[in-house]
Amino acid sequence: MGVLERTSQVLRANINDLLNRAEDPEKMLNQIMRDMEDAIKQGQAQVAEQIAQEKMIQGDLDSAKKNIDEWGKKSELAVSKGRDDLAREALRRQDDYEAQVGIYSIQLDAQKQAVQKLKADLDALQAKYEDARRNKDMLIARAKRAAAQKQISTASAKISTVDYSSELARMERRIKEEEARAAAVAEMQGGAKPDEWSKLQTDDKLDQRLADLKKKMGK
């Protein structure tokens, strides 16, 4: 009975609760099923052993009953032959076997009850195992969905505590500052300013027009 007693917590366990508390639900469920399989194998061996013990007690009981009949016949034979001494011995042996019958009967009843209890525990364990096997994928999926939902809820809670609009505005200001600094550096490192280049081009055009005008006037 030791193995099935040690697995009683598996029989009583709520697999859903175990999965909810497990860090790796799939690994946890696989381990539970392996434990159940081992317990079932050992339980089957123990049930077989206890049934064998029951049969042995039944054999002893049948043998004791047979000896009661045999010694009863011997006592009758001894009386018919006038051998009271042998008749007394036969009756004494018959009493011994009758006492054995009483003992074996009690043992047999207790053994039958033990076997029935073991069978019931084993059937319960097998039913639990079959239920877990049928629902394995569904239980794992439920556990994973719950874990994913928890992660999403946690992330959502973190996001809601941060004002990202102000963060983006602050980042934009920093970028503008960097752009202004880069323009200032370029202005300090460059030669003439863009408007100076435009002025030089304008002066060239005016000089050309002036020369054309003087030529026209014969100057």
Task: Lowest mean pLDDT of 9-18, 113-122, 179-188, 204-213, name the range.
Answer: 9-18
- Please check the confidence at residue 144 and state whether its pLDDT lies above 70: yes
Query: What percent of the chain has a predicted confidence (pLDDT) above 70?
Result: 77
Cα(86)–Cα(92) distance, integer angstroms: 10
- Please check the confidence at residue 184 and state whether its pLDDT lies above 70: yes
Cα(184)–Cα(160) distance, integer angstroms: 39
Task: Lowest mean pLDDT of 6-10, 40-44, 56-60, 156-160, name the range.
Answer: 6-10
Which pLDDT score, from 0 to 100, does residue 1 have? 45
CA distances from 56 to 42, 61, 108, 131, 204 (A): 21, 9, 9, 36, 129
- Please check the confidence at residue 179 and state whether its pLDDT lies above 80: yes
Q: Residue 82 phi/psi, 5° resolution?
A: 75, 20
Give residue 23's pLDDT band: very low, low, confident or very high (50, 70, 90).
low
Q: Where are the domains of the chain?
A: 2-160, 164-216
Task: Lowest mean pLDDT of 108-117, 144-153, 201-210, name the range.
Answer: 201-210
- Please check the confidence at residue 74 and state whether its pLDDT lies above 80: yes
Cα(58)–Cα(64) distance, integer angstroms: 10
Which whole number is the average pLDDT over 140-160?
73
Model pTM?
Answer: 0.55
- Please check the confidence at residue 160 and state whether its pLDDT lies above 80: no
Pick from 9, 33, 11: nearest CA to 139 = 33
- Give the model confidence (pLDDT) of 84-138 as tens digits: 999 999 999 999 999 999 999 999 999 999 999 999 999 988 988 888 888 877 8
2-160: CATH topology: Helix Hairpins (1.10.287)
Which pLDDT score, from 0 to 100, does residue 136 have? 78
